[in-house]
Amino acid sequence: MNNSPEKIRMRGFAKRYPVDRAIAWIDSQTRAIQAETIRIDVATGRVLAEPIISPMNVPAFDRSAMDGYALIARETIGASESVPISFRLTGRSFPGSDPTSTVFPGTCVQIMTGAPIPGGADAVIPVEYTAIDAETVHVQQAIAQFKHLSKTGEDIRKEQEVFRAGHILRAQDLAMLAALGIPEISVIQQPRVRIILSGNELVKPGEPRGQHQIFEANSYLLKSLIPRDGGVIESVQFVNDERTAIKNALEKPGADLILISGGTSVGQEDFVPAVVNELGELAIHGIAMRPSSPSGMGKIGDSFVFLLPGNPVSCLCGYDFFAGRALRILAGYPAGWPHRQIQGRLKKKISSAVGRTDYCRVSVCQDETGAEPAGVIPLAISGASILSTTVQADGFVIIPENLEGYPAGENVIVNLYE
What are the tens digits of pLDDT across the range 337-382?
999 999 999 999 999 999 999 999 999 997 666 667 789 999 988 8
User: What pLDDT was estimated at residue 11?
Assistant: 45
Reported confidence tier of residue 7, pLDDT bands at 50, 70, 90: very low
Instruction: Report residue 146 CA to chain centroid gap.
Output: 40
- Cβ atoms 385, 313 nearer than 8 A: yes
Domain with CATH 3.40.980.10 in the chain: 19-34+191-331
Alpha helices in 149-262 (DSSP H): 171-179, 218-225, 243-251
Task: Find how far residue 48's CA is from the centre of its chain.
Answer: 13
Burial state string for 186-200 with b = 16 or more CB within 10 A and e = fewer than 16: ebbbbbbbbbbbbbe
List Cβ neighbours of 208 (8 Å cut-off, separation of 6 or more).
none
H/E stretch holding 307? strand 303-308
pLDDT for residue 368: 65
User: CATH fold of 36-58+154-188, please?
Assistant: Molybdopterin biosynthesis moea protein, domain 2 (3.90.105)
Task: Please determine, for residue 3, whether its predicted confidence score (pLDDT) is greater than 60.
Answer: no
Rounded to two decimals, the pTM is 0.84
pLDDT in tens, 218-270: 999 999 999 999 999 999 999 988 899 999 999 999 999 999 998 777 666 67
pLDDT at 195 over 60: yes
- Tell me, what DSSP letter sits at residue 377? E
CATH topology of domain 19-34+191-331: Molybdenum Cofactor Biosythetic Enzyme; Chain A (3.40.980)
Topology classification of domain 63-150: Molybdopterin biosynthesis moeA protein; domain 3 (2.170.190)
* Residue 126 amino acid letter: P
User: How far apart (Å, rounded) are the C-alpha atoms in residues 367 and 387?
Assistant: 27
Contact by Cβ (8 Å): 397, 351: no
Per-residue model confidence (pLDDT) at position 165: 96
Q: Which are the contacts of 56, defined by CB distance < 8 A and separation ≥ 6? A: 156, 158, 180, 181
- Residue ranges, comma separated, of all CATH 3.90.105.10 domains in the chain are 36-58+154-188
Rounded CA-CA distance 117/98 in Å is: 9
Task: List, by residue range, all CATH 2.170.190.11 domains of the chain.
Answer: 63-150
Query: CA–CA separation, 392 vs 412, rounded Å?
Result: 19
The answer to whether 138 touches 79, Cβ cutoff 8 Å, is no
Residue 5: predicted pLDDT: 39
Q: Is the pLDDT of residue 336 over 60?
A: yes
Task: Tell me how far apart the alpha carbons of residues 331 and 232 are, in angstroms, rounded to a whole number.
Answer: 10
**Of 59, 49, 3, which Cα lies nearest the Cα of 28?**
3
Which CATH fold topology does 341-416 show? Beta-clip (2.40.340)
